[in-house]
Structure 1
Amino acid sequence: MQTKIDGIIPVMITPFTPDNKIDWKGYEALIEWYIDNGSEALFAVCQSSEMQHLSLDERRDLARFTVERVAGRIPVVASGHVSDTRAGQREELAAVAGTGIDGLVLVTNRLASLDEGTETFRARVEDLLTALPSDLPLGLYECPAPFRRLLSDAEVAYCAGSGRFTFLKDVTCDLEIVKRRLEITRGTPLGINNANAAIAWPAMQAGASGFCGVMSNFHPDLYRWLQDHGAEHPDLAEELATFLVLAAMCEPMGYPKLAKRYHLRLGTFASDHSRTISFDIEDRYWALDAILDRIHQGSQRFRSRIAELVLRQG
């Protein structure tokens, strides 16, 4: 039986030491923070993990470490799919697949370019399938870097019908496309997991399987409450959804270093060093710390309101 991979799935960041090595102690603390805050699965070795700036050994070791520390409490999926060549992709995917993960995620822009169609996409998927364990569930990720290649309806239908794919991190940022994909995949193993905070709540209401966006590095528990209990409390759900959308407006302000700065303030780990973002984000984005203050304060207020609601319901 395939492991079910859906719900609130943080895209994991990678803490580094000031001398540019992976901070394993900090990463372990981060794993516990995700789990303690309602995550239902973890997506390791993704763009938020700075996978384009990790060696193959680091990508493999991150996936294995995540599996070992999670120890079966929730599913772990991972990608690390960054190479341009067919041989490179086979090597990196096989390495990550062998770490004990519950699902391996293929990046759509590695499977076909913007001007290549479904025939090329299918041929490359089928080629990779021959190099991967036949019993390993697979996912798809419309990663924005180095370019965003969205799946066509025919490609979504092909992957859904294959029975091999259980997870799509949808980066269309378009509610109507999400709804159309939900219809295409109905009755298949492929779940559509939206990554855009602006449409998170309406996508959940339409039937999307959770949330897999960068703001799950700030308050995954609030997305979890919205998913699990929002329909029972529509007024509070609308207020919370509005806060989550506005909080997500900070995403372009030097992410993933932005999320690392947030966790530095929480005490999760000790450095906001990033291989992707080399500049001082506070210098470039004025009053950034004040913005992070407000995000934290707003998150705490909603947590308090939810706790009070639970107490009233007895």
Structure 2
Amino acid sequence: MSKKDKGYIPVMLTPFTESGAVDFSGLTKLTELYLGAGAAGLFANCQSSEMFNLSEEEQLAVTKQVLQVADGAVPVVATGTFGGPVEKQADFVKRMYETGVDAVIVITNMLAGESESADVFDERFGQLLDATPGIPLGFYECPEPFKRVLTAEQLKRFVSTGRVIYHKDTCLDIEQIRAKLDATKAVSKFGLYDAYMVHAVESLKAGSAGLSCIQGNYYPELVVWLCNHFDDDELADQVERVRQFFVERMDVMHAVYPIVAKYFLQKRGLPISTFTRKNAGVFDASVRGQIDSLYVQFQQLMEQIELKPLLA
């Protein structure tokens, strides 16, 4: 999770069968797609994985499957905090770490309520650190059930402990990103990964370790391409074209997600059901038509930048 190399960390989907069970065969193929695209790591058991709709045993089983397929090729992280007393959260952090992940991710909204102060969060995170000695941790500013964004000062304190190596940032503010990067620049084993593709190029140029966005659940190889070429002067026009492609299609990729991402991957040839456990909205003819158009536009862009897609 070093910030020396720019990389894409997928926020992984969980494939399900049409009956609603976890589709481990589909998960294997999906993991192989991320790896084939050049992902620098894998974030299993996250919001895109429908983690709130998985049992603890399913969360552990999904993570173990991802680790087995990755087989040490890249780091794997997974969420391990889901509310309740700190002691209970610490127990599951330990169970998740025992799967073999490189770090266990702390959801920032699970240690303090929406009306509770930053001081309360800081105190409880300190308690979690004490209760999980030696376990590398990371943060995820998950938008559900509410978003708790860490300040640069908080992140600096936590990273300085040597225990926090990863941060998935969802603040959507490039100035806050720059402040966080400046506050943590002295720690080489820490990486900030930005979720917001609108300022992805700015964020990479500012020093973020990479990107961790839902767009990679449509076309991971395109996100990897951007991480590899964001500062390539010879490809500046193509980089701008790719940046605009992401910016102009934010809404269509977020509506009825993750059903739409699974449908898009289906169109690309991945054997994956569109079944989701969470209530993502209505996948009607209008939404389907927008994703069909997105698929055509994606194919056109890949031809324009001369990047061969991994799938159809």
Aligned-partner residue type, residue 169 of structure 1: K
Aligned-partner residue type, residue 191 of structure 1: G
Between 1:173-182 and 1:83-92, the stretch displaced more is: 83-92
Q: Aligned partners of 1:276, 1:166: CA distance in 2, in Å?
A: 30
Q: Displacement, 1:138?
A: 1.5
Does structure 2 conserve the Cα–Cα contact (< 8 Å) formed by 1:16 and 1:22? yes
1:203-282 matched pairs, under 5 angstroms? 203-232=203-232, 233-277=235-279, 279-282=281-284
> Which whole-Å deviations, capped at 9, do the CAs of 1:185-225 have from their partners, x for residues lacking one?
11113322110121112111221111101111012211221
Q: Displacement, 1:242?
A: 0.1
Q: Aligned partners of 1:72, 1:190: CA distance in 2, in Å?
A: 19
Aligned to 2:73: 73
Q: Aligned partners of 2:117, 2:28: CA distance in 1, in Å?
A: 41
Aligned to 1:157: 156
Aligned to 1:312: none
Q: Aligned partners of 2:153, 2:117: CA distance in 1, in Å?
A: 10
Of 1, 4, 7, the residue aligned with 2:2 is 4
Q: Displacement, 1:76?
A: 0.7
Q: Aligned partners of 2:23, 2:74: CA distance in 1, in Å?
A: 22
Give me the TM-score of the superposition, normalised by structure 1. 0.90
Between 1:256-265 and 1:102-111, the stretch displaced more is: 256-265
Q: Percent of pairs identical after alignment?
A: 31
Aligned to 1:140: 139
Aligned to 1:27: 27
Q: Displacement, 1:260?
A: 1.3
What are structure 2's unaligned runs of at least 5 residues?
A: none
Q: Aligned partners of 1:297, 1:251: CA distance in 2, in Å?
A: 14
What is the root-mean-square deviation in Å for CA atoms of aligned residues? 1.9
> Which whole-Å deviations, capped at 9, do the CAs of 1:249-299 have from their partners, x for residues lacking one?
21331111121111222232341111112653125xx2x223222322332
Aligned to 1:58: 58
Between 1:207-216 and 1:142-151, the stretch displaced more is: 207-216
Q: Aligned partners of 1:297, 1:166: CA distance in 2, in Å?
A: 38
- Pairs aligned (count): 303
What are structure 1's unaligned runs of at least 5 residues?
A: 310-314
Q: Displacement, 1:153?
A: 2.7
Q: Aligned partners of 2:101, 2:71: CA distance in 1, in Å?
A: 11
3-state SS in 1 of match to 2:284: helix
> Which whole-Å deviations, capped at 9, do the CAs of 1:9-36 have from their partners, x for residues lacking one?
1100101111110001011000011111
Q: Aligned partners of 1:71, 1:130: CA distance in 2, in Å?
A: 30
